A = this chain, B = another copy of it.
Amino acid sequence: MTSHDVAREAGVSRTTVSMVLSGSTAVVLADETRLRVKQAAERLGYRPNSAGRMLASGASKTIGLIVSNPDLLLVDGFIPPTLYAISKIAAGHGYNVLVESLPEANDDRAFSDLVLTRRIDGMIVLNPRTEDPQLAALIERNFPVVLLGTIRHPKEVTVNIPGTHDLQEAVDYLVGLGHKRIGHVAISKPGSNATDYRIMEFREALQKHGLDLPDSRIAYGDFSAKSGHDAALALFNQAPDITAVLAGNDTIALGVMRAARELGKSLPRDLSIIGYDDLPFAAYLEPPLTTIRSKPIEQGETATRMLIDLMQGRAAAKPDVDLSTEFIVRGSCAGPLG
């Protein structure tokens, strides 16, 4: 079933079929002919072969979604809605989404496979590493890339969803309650952009109150509740005097809550906890989790729209939706004792 068959059915040449179905306006065609071709295609259930189309046109109509950390895909709760949003917008513009999760080391192959072999038209990178030569090279040669995560990228041209999140508001809140020694459990080991950037922001927010964040008050997890639990135990050991914890995400916050309970702490009386993301379960925990709401669906949609702009040669439009985070006060914080 090729365009040739449609041509025969409609009594025209294959060229005409191509012009009609690809919507080209380079050549004038009679309306009656256009209709006849469309009806013939419909009747035969014809669908163009993407390989032929790709070879001839050079565009694969495919975008690559790079998940730079396997842990993300394994346990983190903001991937699914992000993927949903990306897939939805992409489909609306005729693009398909190729998902690639990078293993630890040989990302060389993965990147070049997608770009050189699969000929993707653009890519969205979730939670990119702070330093990635491959990625930097792609951006340098103006390959359409959108970085999604908590990012400040030096190259102004490069599109990225700005991490306009407000740790400040959360920190103000904790300090307002009377907390002075606040710990942090990061979402992953140092080297991931989101991790490093969030710590930096946290530190800056504390400094506005004349507070500091010594390394002893930081522990590192891997997105999961278990890692949050283990890291929190280490944290309480390193810095027993902390009265509050800012967790890298809600799942980690959950692990912190359990660790605190195991040490006989009552929540939120003995320890205040703030999460990040406002995953769907956060409001249902006991106590309900005070958290910083990120907007994965809006972020995914915006990233995809920006990427489509880039792929079609336009400059990426500024996001027209508010991507900034929102501080959600629930019941997991209280004033410190003493």
Q: Which partner residue on chain B sits nearest A258 by CB separation?
A: B284
* Residue of B80, B254, B284 touching A79 (CB-CB under 8 A): B80
Interchain CA distance A65-B96 in the complex, whole Å:
11
Q: Does A173 contact B (CB under 8 A)?
A: no
Q: Does A243 contact B (CB under 8 A)?
A: no
Q: Shortest CB–CB separation between residue A325 and chain B, in angstroms? A: 19
- Contacting pair A80 B84 (CB below 8 A): no
Q: Shortest CB–CB separation between residue A90 and chain B, in angstroms? A: 10
Q: Does A157 contact B (CB under 8 A)?
A: no
Q: Shortest CB–CB separation between residue A174 and chain B, in angstroms? A: 22
- Contacting pair B118 A96 (CB below 8 A): yes
Give chain A interface residues in 79-131, CB to chain B under 8 Å: 79-81, 83-84, 87-88, 91, 96-101, 103, 110, 112-114, 116-119
- Contacting pair A74 B84 (CB below 8 A): yes
* Chain B hits for A200, CB < 8 A: none
* Residue of B55, B72, B257 touching A55 (CB-CB under 8 A): B55
Q: Does A24 contact B (CB under 8 A)?
A: no
* Chain B hits for A118, CB < 8 A: 50, 96
Q: Does A286 contact B (CB under 8 A)?
A: yes
Q: Does A15 contact B (CB under 8 A)?
A: no
- Contacting pair A96 B100 (CB below 8 A): yes
- Contacting pair B100 A87 (CB below 8 A): yes
Q: Does A196 contact B (CB under 8 A)?
A: no
With contact pairs A98-B97, A254-B284, A281-B225 given, residues A51 and B60 touching in the complex (Cβ less than 8 Å): yes
With contact pairs A100-B96, A229-B284, A254-B281 given, residues A81 and B73 touching in the complex (Cβ less than 8 Å): yes
* Residue of B51, B100, B254, B281 touching A91 (CB-CB under 8 A): B100
Q: Does A75 contact B (CB under 8 A)?
A: yes
In the complex, besides A73-B80, A258-B286, 10 extra interface pairs with C-beta distance below 8 angstroms are A1-B116, A74-B80, A75-B280, A79-B80, A88-B103, A91-B100, A96-B113, A98-B98, A226-B284, A229-B284
List 30 A-B pairs, Cβ < 8 Å.
Answer: A1-B116, A47-B113, A47-B117, A49-B55, A49-B117, A51-B52, A51-B119, A62-B98, A65-B99, A73-B80, A73-B81, A75-B80, A83-B83, A87-B99, A87-B100, A88-B101, A96-B113, A96-B114, A98-B99, A225-B280, A225-B283, A225-B284, A226-B280, A229-B284, A251-B280, A254-B284, A257-B284, A258-B284, A258-B286, A285-B285
